[in-house]
Structures are given as C-alpha cells and as structure tokens.
Amino acid sequence: MTNYKLLAPGPVPIPLEVRKILEEAPLHHRTPEFEKTLSRVKNKMAKVFATKQPVIFHTSCGSGAMESAIVNLIEPGDHVLCIIGGKFAERWKEIAQIYGAHTIEWNLAWGEALDLKKFEELLRQHGPQLKAVLSQACETSSATVFPIEPMSALIKKHSNALFMVDAITALGCMPMPMDQWGLDVVVAGSQKALMLPTGLSFIALSEKAWDVQKKNKTPKFYFDLDRERKALEKNQTYFSSAVHHWRALDAVLNLVERKGWSALQKRCEVLMKATHEFVKQMGLELLSKAPSSSVTAILLPKDVKGEKLRDWLESEKNITIMGGQDQCKDKILRVGHMGDIHDEDMIQLFAAIAEGLKRESQWRKTEPSIKKILKEAPRIFE
Ligand SMILES: *Cc1c(COP(=O)(O)O)cnc(C)c1O
C-alpha cells in the first residue's frame, strides 16, 4: 500500500505511539480493565470540552453526533435557525429538516466572515420562536471560523434557543470552553483534531439541553442520549464500545496533556501561518475572510483545475489534500493543520503545489521560501 502524506482536514496523520495501540490484541468491552479506561477517558474528555456535564460517545462518524443532536433535541415543527456557510452546515440543516424542523436559513457566501450585527438583526426578528440555532465553529468546506462566543451571548440576549455547535474541526485546535461560553450542544469527531481514525463521535449537552432532551418525543434508538448517559455513569457504553478507539483516545489525551492543549493549538496556528505565508509568496489568495487554524482554503488561479492538481499531488507526489466541494469545486485546495504533521511534510507540500501550479498555470512563477516561519513551530509530537 502506498504511504500517502495525509494533509487533508480530516482524517489526519495519527501519532506513532497512538498507532501502536491500534495494533494491540482486542479486549472485551465488558471487563474491569476496559471500564477503567472508559472512566479515565470520559473524565479527560469532559476537561477537553470544558464542561461539568457528561460527554457522550457514539460509535459513529461525526455526522452521527450531528444527527444525535437533532433527534434528542428537535421535534417536528420546531423553528431552527441554520447558519449556512458551507457543506457541513447544509448537512446539519438537511438532518433537521428530515426530522421535521422548520428551518430558517441564513446563507453566507463560502468564506464570508459572519457579521454579528446582521446576526443580531436575525435574532431580533426570529428569536422568540426559535428552539435552536445551528452553527459550525469551523466550516471545514470553506475553512472559515465563526465567532462562537459573541454569537452565544447574542442568542441568550434575544431568545431562549439552544445554541448547537458543530466543533468537529474546532474542538482541540482552538479554545471552545463549552460551559464558560454558554454552549448548549457541542459535537466533535475522532478523525480531525483528536488524531484518531474515523469511528468515534462525541456530544455534550448543557443542563438546559438535558432538560429539553428528557421531554423530547422524536423517535430514536441508537442515538438515545439518556440511555448512553446512564450507561456512562456505570463506566459503560450502552452498545458495544469501540475499544481500540477508546484506548487510542486515552493515548492521544495523555500525549497532548504532556505538552498542554495550548501547545497543540499553537502548532495548528503555526502551520496555518506558514500556509498563509506560502499563499502570499505565491501571489495567491485565501478563500476565507475569517480563516481557521485547523484548515486553510487556497484560492487557485482561474486557469487551474483544482481537482486535476489535487489528483496529480496524490498520484505523483503521494500527498493527499482536499479540493473544493459544490460551488468551490475546482476553485480551491484545502490543506489541513490538524494531527501529527511535521515541518518537512509542509515543506514538501508547498514545493509540490508550487511545481504543480507551474505545470498547470500561466500564473506568476515564484519559488516559495517558508522554512523560516516553520522554525517557530514547537515540535510537540517528536
Ligand atoms: C468532517 C466534518 C463533519 C462530518 O464528519 P464525518 O465524520 O465525516 O461524518 C461535520 N462537520 C464538520 C465541520 C466537519 O469538518
């Protein structure tokens, strides 16, 4: 199998000491040994979410936790304001609609920064009847962050709505203290900032959201959060636990705690800054007006077909990054900053993109020199 350099915004490269755990012999989930792991990991994850509430684990990809948020809190006819700045917001809106929500959509251009004044106007208009506001913390398809803390304060000022945040490419790589910011639902996934394979997702509810959950009548089976919460109190999951993922998560949390979460966040920021500098030196531009530290979207010159360049990087250079989806198809490249990424990986990527652009484009040809910026980067996983 070819060993690809994985520089996509999820899945991301997994640190070696975590990969070793994935090779270990299986352990049954109903054993005292696993229950100890579960107990340790659930407590540590509550710290990562910065919440006093339990963090619930589903054996699913991130979209499962998004669906869980909806089936546990939304009922047919509920008014839900959806902040739509890209593909993942579209997905959450669709899930809400399938379960009968009355969605009010605020469509932002992909990459546009969210204007808090306009947001407040919308809340003035719709606030009283809103059951929930749905937003990404980082919209991965446009590499754009939203100002979650002030948004949360405005929602509280104008409504009684639950603020539901998809933090799948935010939790871990940027501050997202759930209780302090008054977030009602935070959703995360294993294969992005948390550096694991795809397969675990996480969801935490505020006290207010748990009250809503208890009264919720939407049919649900696998994603019943109350049932999972009770199992978790006994250091179990209701269904079979993804034991390898839990143990690998334990290792990731140990690894990051040794260096501090701020070091991991700084590392994402340094890789972002390096990528921004590369973009500037190439005479290119970013898609986003509110760029994320977990992923960067590079706007390509008009004569370049993004998918062709992306495929070339993969087949000729063994580097996997992502192109654009939907309206950004062929127009952007997306580079991830999460996971066990080394300076050399970034240097090879930049050199490869520069070479690819030279082949594909009449664009001004410049040789990037980004090594000096990368020197700042603390090498936290080496
Ligand atoms: C990746 C991602 C998702 C979907 O997660 P899956 O694990 O692919 O289901 C949802 N929201 C955001 C912001 C993401 O980056």
Tens-place pLDDT, residues 51-61: 999 999 999 99
In the reported structure, the alpha carbon of residue 39 is separated from the centroid of ligand 1 by a whole-number distance in angstroms of 26
Q: Spell out a b/e string for 196-218, using b for 16 or more CB atoms within 10 Å of the CB, else e.
A: bbebbbbbbbbeebbebbeebeb
Q: Cis bond leading into 11, ω under 30°?
A: yes
pLDDT of 372 over the 70 cut: no
In the reported structure, the alpha carbon of residue 9 is separated from the centroid of ligand 1 by a whole-number distance in angstroms of 10
The C-alpha atoms of residue 24 and residue 278 are separated, in whole angstroms, by: 40
- Tokens standing for residue 213: 């959950």
For residues 149-162, give the mean pLDDT. 98
Binding site membership of 88 for ligand 1 (Cβ less than 6 Å): yes
- C-alpha closest to that of 248 among 184, 191, 328: 191
The C-alpha atoms of residue 38 and residue 32 are separated, in whole angstroms, by: 10
Binding site membership of 140 for ligand 1 (Cβ less than 6 Å): yes
The model's pLDDT over 268-314, given as tens digits with 9 standing for 90+, comes to 999 999 999 999 888 899 999 999 999 999 999 999 999 999 999 99
In the reported structure, the alpha carbon of residue 61 is separated from the centroid of ligand 1 by a whole-number distance in angstroms of 8
Beta bridge partners of 56: 203
Residues making up the chain, counted from first to last = 382
The C-alpha atoms of residue 109 and residue 45 are separated, in whole angstroms, by: 34
Binding site membership of 11 for ligand 1 (Cβ less than 6 Å): no
- Tokens standing for residue 11: 């899945």
What's the confidence (pLDDT) of residue 364? 66
Q: Which residue's C-alpha comes closest to atom 6 of ligand 1? A: 62
SS3 186: strand
**Where residue 376 falls among pLDDT bands split at 50, 70, 90?**
low
95 Cβ contact partners less than 8 Å away, ≥ 6 residues apart:
63, 66, 67, 70
The CA-based angle 19-23-24, given to 5 degrees, is 120
- Mean pLDDT of all residues belonging to the chain: 95
Percentage of the chain beyond pLDDT 90 is 90
Contact 165, 148 (CB under 8 A): yes
Pocket probe mutation, ligand 1, options 142, 168, 200, max atoms within 8 Å of Cβ: 168
Rounding to the nearest 10 degrees, give the CA dihedral for residues 350, 277, 166, 314. Answer: -10
Binding site membership of 199 for ligand 1 (Cβ less than 6 Å): no
Displacement of CA 163 from its chain's centroid (Å): 17
pLDDT of 134 over the 80 cut: yes
In the reported structure, the alpha carbon of residue 144 is separated from the centroid of ligand 1 by a whole-number distance in angstroms of 14
Please state whether the predicted TM-score (pTM) of the whole model is above 0.85. yes
